[in-house]
Amino acid sequence: MDLPLSTPLASRLLWLDEVGSTNTDLAARITGADAEQWSDFSVVATDNQVAGKGRLGRDWRSPAGASLAVSVLLRPQTPAGRPLPPESWGWFGLLAGLAMTRACNSVLPENTAQLKWPNDVLIGDRKVCGVLSEIVNTPQGAALIVGAGVNVALVEEDLPVPTATSLLLSGADPQTTTIDAVLSAYLAEFSRITKVFTSAAGNVRSSGLLDQVSEACGTLGKSVRVELPSGESPVGTALGINEDGSLVVELGNCAEPLVVAAGDVTHLRVVAGS
């Protein structure tokens, strides 16, 4: 596929007509014989991912040509060439979600896309994109692969679940909402955001990115149910995101808010009179 808008934005961009998983493919390339050829912000992308991976081992599949799957290689360093602190790496999933939220809004008639903690993008209450980050040990040291899958042109009958949507179903112009337009908008935003983050040595507050993520996050202020790794499912109100990327949830029966570092979050609808 010809990608005139996207190609200049990556240090290397490989388009695949079909792939099992862009994350898996990129991981194999950066640990293989030509690993040195894959520098920071190299990209693998496709519109036909047949064995995509989501969080907790979930599948991510869609008809060929209707969705974009993209994986970005990051070797995050400070401007002085020092590796970013390991604790800051967990932020890249949220930062990718912020970038994709903005990319989606760039093709929607209204800014209706919002980030959902920790790794989804919603339009209204329906999911249009998921993000999955993975750390990979390479001959050049630890690297991060950030994968994203966004539904671009799926029609209603092709949606994987009733709670999903696509950009075209949400009002994007089919003439201008091309794979290249969405990919280039995402890469431009993600590149800019990562540069801001690394320039601040991974300090999400001084970089201003904590405020930007919080502003874009539709989870905040909502009633939520949190499915914890322990199997518990407490319900409360999402208050904010702290400096390590955890979600802070106020529980009605607890004096101390719950700090959620890992877990699935469901937005709950408040019924009048409840």
Q: How confident is the model at residue 175 (pLDDT cuts 50, 70, 90)?
A: very high
**Scanning the structure block, which residue is given the tokens 């896309």?**
113
DSSP letters along 199-214, please? HTTT-TTTTTHHHHHH
Q: Which domains does the chain have, with CATH numbers?
A: 7-216 (3.30.930.10), 223-267 (2.30.30.100)
CA dist., res. 99 & res. 166, Å (int): 17
What average pLDDT does the structure give for the chain? 92
pLDDT digits (tens, 9 = 90+) for 29-47: 999 999 999 999 999 999 9
CA dist., res. 154 & res. 188, Å (int): 24
Q: Judge whether 248 and 222 are in contact, CB under 8 Å.
A: no
pLDDT digits (tens, 9 = 90+) for 10-31: 999 999 999 999 999 999 999 9
